[in-house]
């Protein structure tokens, strides 16, 4: 007696597929939050510094009335801490309760689960609170500390604008002369407030990167179907035999397909769904294994091309052709319960007239 010890990934397709979906979400969850945190930190840092600068006259008035520097600064620090705590509480609820439910419903549409068990992640919440405090409290403290170094009489006056200077573009005389006055002022202001310019550029770049990533993922997924079923798979139908059928029944079925007037051509292949695993992971990669009865006819139904050069890959009798993903999978174990006595599948290419009759027709008046 031989006993095979296997994990749930080896015999439960639903468990394995859901695990792969969870891994994809986990990969996205490790990259996207970094962009969101970066943009949020830049926005908070800029907002808090500008708020302190706008309260300059009020700070000078309080100092003139006898308030200490610590009492004046405490107002901004309390506001900053309250903002950070409020944002962390709302964000934690959205990230730990609301978004998991939405993602769970989207990814379990084809699975049967009774309830969703939510888990509290105090480490992530603490990290988010720390970043929020750094981006608000630190910005307020730095701006207020710099302003409180001045005497109250100077604080009660509006802040003098930053002195301008010649920029590199002014040295390019042909271009500088053609610019209007408003463009010249804008160009000079960009370099007068370098911190704001840098934060704006980083914020816009991060938001643009997120948008391009989202549209790129959508466009990549939309092209998979067209590439698979227009450029690679050329057959229209797959006829599967009963595995317990006799040779007589198989020949009769083949003859009925051959004699059909709607069939342009057909070929027989051995077909089996197998899987491969790796040593470093419990996930299982499903593989559709096809062995053509006549290798020379396979190119009429499935276009095998090199992914880099686009040249035709010729199937020989001394090996197999695998996809690039499977080749990078570093396979160490195959599970192939094959029975190669008779071809089990017919790949069928229909005539164009039949396909045209099956296509939906839109009529307009």
pLDDT (tens digit per residue) in 211-259:
888 888 788 777 777 777 778 888 888 888 777 778 888 788 888 888 8
Task: Identify the bridge partners of residue 272 per DSSP, sorted by sequence position.
Answer: 289
- Stretch 143-161: mean pLDDT, rounded? 84
For Cα atoms 141, 143, 145, give the angle at the middle one, nearest 5 degrees. Answer: 65
- Stretch 186-207: mean pLDDT, rounded? 79
Q: Is the dihedral of CA 202, 203, 205, 209 positive or negative?
A: positive
Q: What is the pLDDT of residue 340?
A: 40
Residue 64 CB partners (closer than 8 Å, separation 6+): 152, 153, 156
Per-residue confidence band for 364, with pLDDT thresholds at 50, 70 and 90 = very low
Please check whether residue 351 is in contact with residue 263, taking contact to mean a CB–CB distance below 8 angstroms. yes
- Stretch 321-330: mean pLDDT, rounded? 72
Q: H helices within 55-160, ranges in order?
A: 56-64, 69-93, 99-107, 122-148, 152-155
**Global pTM value:** 0.58
Q: What is the pLDDT of residue 223?
A: 79
Per-residue confidence band for 42, with pLDDT thresholds at 50, 70 and 90 = confident
pLDDT at 267 over 90: no
Per-residue confidence band for 30, with pLDDT thresholds at 50, 70 and 90 = confident
Q: What is the pLDDT of residue 90?
A: 92
């Amino acid at each position: 007696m031989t006993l095979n010890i296997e994990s749930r990934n080896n015999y439960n397709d639903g468990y394995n597929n859901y695990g792969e979906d969870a891994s994809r979400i986990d990969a996205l969850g490790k990259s996207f939050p970094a962009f969101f945190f970066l943009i949020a930190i830049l926005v908070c840092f800029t907002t808090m510094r500008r708020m302190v600068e706008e309260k300059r006259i009020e700070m000078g008035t309080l100092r003139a009335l006898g308030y200490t520097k610590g009492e004046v600064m405490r107002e901004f620090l309390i506001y900053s801490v309250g903002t950070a705590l409020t944002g962390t509480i709302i964000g934690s609820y959205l990230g730990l309760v609301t978004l998991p439910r939405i993602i769970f419903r989207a990814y379990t549409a084809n699975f049967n689960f009774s309830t969703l068990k939510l888990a509290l992640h105090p480490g992530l919440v603490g990290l988010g609170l720390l970043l929020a405090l750094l981006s608000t409290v630190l910005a307020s403290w730095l701006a207020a500390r710099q302003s409180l170094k001045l005497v109250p009489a100077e604080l009660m006056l509006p802040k003098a604008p930053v002195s301008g200077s010649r920029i590199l573009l002014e040295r390019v005389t042909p271009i500088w002369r053609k610019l209007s006055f408003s463009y010249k002022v804008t160009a000079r202001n960009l370099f007068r407030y370098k911190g704001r310019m840098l934060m704006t550029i980083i914020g816009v770049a991060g938001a643009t990167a997120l948008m391009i990533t989202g549209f790129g993922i959508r466009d990549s997924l939309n092209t998979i179907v067209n590439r698979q079923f227009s450029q690679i798979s050329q057959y229209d139908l797959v006829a599967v035999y009963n595995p317990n059928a006799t040779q007589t029944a198989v020949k009769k079925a083949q003859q009925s397909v051959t004699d059909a007037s709607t069939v342009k051509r057909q070929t027989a292949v051995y077909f089996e769904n197998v899987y491969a695993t790796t040593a470093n992971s419990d996930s299982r990669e499903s593989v559709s294994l096809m062995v053509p009865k006549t290798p020379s006819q396979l190119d009429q139904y499935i276009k095998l091309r090199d992914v880099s050069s686009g040249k035709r890959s010729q199937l020989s009798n001394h090996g197999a052709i695998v996809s690039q993903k499977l080749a990078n999978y570093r396979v160490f174990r195959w599970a192939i319960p094959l029975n190669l006595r008779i071809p089990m599948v017919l790949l069928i290419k229909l005539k164009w007239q039949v396909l045209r009759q099956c296509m939906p027709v839109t009529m307009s008046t």
